[in-house]
């Protein structure tokens, strides 16, 4: 998981006016002849409002958040203008609004698509504006709904408290090193057994094995394990666990009011975008960004950040009974903890991690249906706007 902490235009448009000329003088001095007029080519010019929405769709395809957002804001501004002009006729803006209300353009559906442009946005403030715009229109009623949860509950979370609350040992929430966990240890044991058998049969694969290990070492050091992750992502059980992990990050970030820039599930794409780890959910916390720029970090902001950070681990523990991923999340947590003044001790970091994972675990447990909806949408390759819509639909259907 990776964390990214890094006015409105008015369109004056008119519908085309169609004027028909039907005054044809007839001369009485000449006989009337009926001739078939030569065929004329007909050129269709779409209504300007439709062309505007086509421009919006083009901005969505190009992942141009600024253009798409400016258009939506301008449409909203136009819809708030007077519906009747000084001559008493229906204004262009009102006509466009009514056409949209009739569903010809699917305005309310297309508004969601602005979220699909966030991934390429360089200015994270624009990402936050996109979420606030949709929330103001009533599309995101659950965005930031549980941001106050960081103020609730006890702060001292011992391992026994974590077990009594979740039914799981604290060790179940710790990322597993490859080769030391249950499934990977079986694979490693089988691999070593196979190599031993081949050597006993006189088949020496040590040169090939040395090359493979050398490539794996190079991948681990210089590429962060991206190549191995790319190969492993084609294994369905492994990919499903990644989806469960990232869906946990996404849902908790959304419910806590942190705008999500996007979810990267392809390890190669993640590496190209500079994301640490094999996949990543990029979210933004404006309060954290502002406070860190001022050299201070409040407890509530740090708590919210930690909850989102450990949400992937909590999601795996909730679904599978243990967590295998999350090593990069822990490393990111430690790097922030040591920057605090005064820096957190090892004991304080452990307690903060347990508190955060418990809060995220409970939040995901309360909204398991929404987490599953996000997981299924991601499994089907849905875009970010569709994933968020599925979350809202699941939340509204279970109230």
Question: What pLDDT, on the 0 to 100 scale, is given for residue 60?
Answer: 84
Tens of pLDDT along 22-75?
333 333 444 434 344 554 444 444 444 556 677 888 888 888 888 888 888 887
End-to-end CA distance of the chain: 30
Indicate whether 16 pLDDT > 50: no
Interstrand relation of 260-264 and 280-283 (parallel, antiparallel or unpaired)? antiparallel
Q: Nearest 5°: phi and psi at 387?
A: -60, -45
Per-residue pLDDT of 289-307, as tens digits, reads 898 888 888 888 999 999 9
Q: What is the mean pLDDT of residues 383-395?
A: 95
Which pLDDT tens digit goes with each residue over 148-159?
877 666 788 999
Give mean pLDDT, residues 373-377.
97
CA-CA-CA-CA torsion for 301, 307, 312, 313, nearest 10 degrees? 130
Dihedral angle of Cα 146, 152, 155, 161, to the nearest 10 degrees: -90
Percent of the residues in the chain that have a pLDDT greater than 90, as a whole number: 36
Residue 94 pLDDT > 70: no
**Residue 116 has what pLDDT?**
92
Residue 231: what pLDDT? 56
Q: How confident is the model at residue 108 (pLDDT cuts 50, 70, 90)?
A: low
Domain covering 147-176+233-397: architecture = Up-down Bundle (1.20)
Res 265: pLDDT: 78
**Most confident option among 27-41, 147-161, 167-181, 379-393:** 379-393
């Amino acid at each position: 998981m990776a964390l990214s902490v890094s006015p409105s235009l008015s369109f004056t448009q008119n519908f085309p006016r169609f004027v028909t000329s039907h005054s044809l003088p007839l001369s009485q001095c000449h006989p009337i002849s009926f001739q078939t007029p030569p065929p004329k080519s007909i050129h269709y010019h779409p209504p300007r409002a439709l062309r505007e929405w086509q421009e919006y769709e083009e901005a969505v395809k190009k992942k141009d958040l600024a253009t798409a957002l400016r258009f939506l804001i301008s449409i909203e501004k136009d819809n708030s203008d007077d519906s009747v002009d000084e001559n008493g006729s229906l204004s262009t803006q009102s006509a466009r609004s009514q056409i949209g209300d009739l569903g010809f353009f699917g305005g309310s559906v297309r508004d969601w698509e602005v979220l699909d442009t966030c991934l390429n946005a360089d200015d994270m403030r624009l990402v936050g504006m996109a979420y606030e715009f949709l929330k103001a229109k009533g599309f995101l009623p659950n965005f930031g709904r549980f941001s106050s949860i960081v103020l609730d509950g006890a702060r001292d979370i011992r391992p026994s408290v974590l077990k009594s609350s979740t039914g799981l040992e604290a060790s179940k929430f710790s990322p597993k090193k490859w080769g030391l966990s249950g499934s990977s240890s079986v694979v490693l044991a089988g691999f070593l057994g196979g190599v031993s058998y081949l050597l006993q049969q006189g088949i020496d694969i040590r040169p090939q094995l040395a090359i493979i290990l050398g490539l794996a070492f190079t991948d681990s050091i210089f590429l962060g394990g991206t190549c191995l992750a790319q190969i492993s992502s084609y294994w369905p059980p492994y990919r499903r666990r990644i989806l469960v992990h990232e869906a946990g990050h996404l849902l908790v970030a959304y419910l806590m009011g942190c705008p999500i820039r996007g979810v990267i599930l392809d390890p190669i794409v993640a590496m190209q975008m500079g994301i640490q780890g094999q996949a990543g959910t990029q979210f933004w916390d404006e309060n954290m960004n502002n406070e860190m720029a001022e050299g201070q970090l409040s407890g509530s902001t740090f708590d919210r950040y930690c909850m989102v950070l450990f949400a992937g681990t909590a999601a795996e523990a909730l679904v599978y009974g243990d967590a295998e991923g999350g090593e990069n999340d822990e490393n990111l947590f430690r790097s922030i903890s040591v920057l605090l003044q005064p820096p957190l001790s090892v004991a304080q970091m452990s307690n903060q991690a347990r508190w955060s994972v418990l809060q995220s675990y409970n939040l995901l447990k309360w909204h398991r249906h929404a987490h599953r909806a996000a997981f299924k949408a991601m499994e089907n390759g849905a875009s970010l706007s569709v994933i968020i819509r599925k979350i809202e639909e699941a939340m509204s259907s279970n109230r």
